[in-house]
Amino acid sequence: MSKQPEVRVKVIAVLNQKGGAGKTTLATHLARGLQLSGRSTLLVDSDPQGSARDWAAVRENHPLTVIGIDRPTIERDIKALAPVDYVVIDGAPQAADLAVSAVKAADVVLIPVQPSPYDIWATSDLVDLVKRRIEITDGKLKAAFVVSRAITGTNIGKEIKDVLAGYELPILTTKIHQRVDYPGTAATGSTVLEDFPRSEGAKEMLELLAEVEHFAHEKVSI
């Protein structure tokens, strides 16, 4: 019997130090979606407010394991956990030391931003941190923007893409829209993937999952 190649755990950190960007919605859906697709997945809540832990707690015997690591030792603590296919980190807003720790732990950083120049400008410190880490790791860390909480039926606008492009990080194609289904499913510890599998929300989340998996595993040319 041939020996299967060892696959290293992929750590995806969903970070934005500005609140209200849809960070926890994105992290919970990514983690649960990866699990539903057959990947062993762990969700790490690094926000001292514990939003992801609250999400899991309202559902009895939640199928996804959610743990809290809200101290700046995320990189070290994750290495001590049982191996899984994916670890998804729900980042903490307004906590620079936790952001640094999460970036160090990550293979992929996703930065959800609302389609507003003000929200994009507010990510500048985080982008600088991420870009420094990319340089230190010789490009091993990958990072990309995710347009989040877009209003359905509105044009994202060329000026928004121009502002994002100025940061010289990729922008994922899939956009996550503001929908009542997201807070509705959060209140029961669920996701649109489970409760509304034929909805537009589920469709965009599945598209994002596929795009993130491809982005996480694609080879970087140096």
Span 132-170, pLDDT tens digits: 999 999 989 999 999 998 887 666 656 677 788 889 999
| Residue scoring higher pLDDT (95 or 33) | 33
Structural contact between residues 85 and 39, judged by C-beta atoms closer than 8 angstroms: yes
Q: 65 forms bridges with which residues in the sheet?
A: 42
Overall CATH class of domain 10-217 = alpha beta
pTM of the model: 0.91
Residue 6: count other Cβ atoms within 10 Å of its Cβ.
Answer: 6
Q: Measured between alpha carbons, how far is 106 from 46 in angstroms, rounded to an integer?
A: 13
Counting residues of the chain whose pLDDT is more than 90, the rounded percentage is: 73
pLDDT attached to residue 150: 84
Q: Is the pLDDT of residue 130 over 90?
A: yes
Cα separation values, 17 from 100, 107, 111, Å: 11, 19, 9
Look at residue 156 in the predicted model and tell me its pLDDT.
Answer: 65
53 contacts: CB under 8 Å, gap ≥ 6: 45, 66, 68
Confidence band of 88 (pLDDT split at 50, 70, 90): very high
Question: Binning pLDDT at 50, 70 and 90, where does residue 221 land?
Answer: very low
The sign of the dihedral angle between the CA atoms of 170, 39, 129, 22 is positive
Among 11-25, 36-50, 55-69, the range scoring the smallest mean pLDDT is 11-25
User: Which of 12-16, 152-156, 180-184, 199-203 has the lowest average pLDDT?
Assistant: 152-156
